[in-house]
Amino acid sequence: QFVLLAAVARDCPLAARSAPLLQRLERSMSSVTIPPPACILRPLEVPYRYLFGPGPSNVPPRVLASGSRPIIGHLHPEMYEIMNDIKKGIHYAFQTENNMTIAMSGSGHAAMECAVFNTVEPGESVLIAINGIWGERVAEIAERMGANVHKLVKAPGGHFTNIEIEKVGKHKPVLFFLAHGESSAGLCQPVDGIGDICRKHNCLFLVDTVASLGAAPIFMDKQNIDILYTGSQKALNAPPGTAPISFNDRACHKMFNRKTKPVSYLFDMTHLSNYWGCDGKAVRAYHHTGPVSGFFALRESLAILAEKGLEESWRKHKEVAAYLYRGLEDLGLELFIPDKDLRLPSVTTISIPEGYDWREMLVYIMKHHQMEMTGGLGPSIGMVMRIGLMGYNCEKTNADKALHALADALKNCKKSKA
């Protein structure tokens, strides 16, 4: 290359004057020592999979198309209008009129941390109901930011009664956490009356609906839930990366009358409330760049839920889950949650079939059926296999596909003599 540049400089006076510049350019180019990676130079390839695990779930073409719309600025008036639409969609999905309603730029864990970081200060007491991985996660988050964490613990699949929850008021917690949809065990925890108990003890009630929203009934206002959050990638059928969350007036009073700043700047609701137009100010100031395409997709998924209707969505998830239960029992498989009224409609758990290696079964199903199912998570690892049919995937035809894949795995995977 340098010889070529020198030849050009010899034959062209203008190029000769530019030769020192070209030499410097050549030297700077040669300073690149890491070559372009071959893998990045290949075209992107993504296989089609049946996502019949606990999430993410397959995304409808309409939602995929919405994410490919042209990018606009995250502070443009049109973006604010889309964000306002999202707020209204969350109001409907959560059944709430809370003004302080937003979508986090991040997965369900972002909403989980936002809830704890904003309403709890170091040294304050919190109570966490743990019957799977999500209670464990919230407990760790609260411990990391210096809260005094008390735990109400049951084995995976166990549910909490109101009487049990009432007895732990002695800890004087400022926050009580409960997972409505404990997807690691396939449990749908009843929440009626718990909000009243929390108010009696001057405690905020925080509920996780990442795996249950759109699949099982939840009524934020009627059930006196102070803080509710979910994720985009399960029954809502948007891509992972956004997380609706809502705070009522009780939560806002605690949140905005702190003695200390929240430990996270990104998740500070003082700033996020302005970014989402919830603080009554005329101007929305820059805080962070939100996931524009992710918000497009979330808006469209909330629109689909509104068009279908919550009650129809709840009915269909219950119907398809019941169909799946019958098919699993016909295969001789045991449902992990004995009480059908406590089963999470979106994520079904089965006890690992006796004599089988659950990992081998899952690998076989992926290899031969291009289908994702999963094992347990956290404390339920080694106890269950999980099948998720939610949102767009919530169809009896998909239940049949899942049952066929399981039957094939049971036939062809090795079974120990023990």
Distance separating alpha carbons of residues 400 and 251, to the nearest angstrom: 44
Cα dist. 388→165, 305, 371, 373 in Å? Answer: 29, 18, 11, 7
The set of residues, in sequence order, having a beta carbon less than 8 Å from that of 117 and lying 6+ positions away, is 141, 145, 262, 263, 264, 267, 268
Q: Bridge-partner residues for 208, per DSSP?
A: 179, 229
Label the pairing between strands 181-182 and 187-188. Answer: antiparallel
The set of residues, in sequence order, having a beta carbon less than 8 Å from that of 232 and lying 6+ positions away, is 103, 107, 238, 239, 240, 241, 242, 243, 244, 294, 297, 298, 301
284 labeled binding residue: no
Distance separating alpha carbons of residues 176 and 231, to the nearest angstrom: 20
Distance separating alpha carbons of residues 404 and 182, to the nearest angstrom: 26
| Residue linked to tokens 């936002």 | 114
**Contact yes or no for 393/330 (Cβ under 8 A):** no
Residues of each annotated binding site: 386
Residues of each annotated binding site for substrate: 386
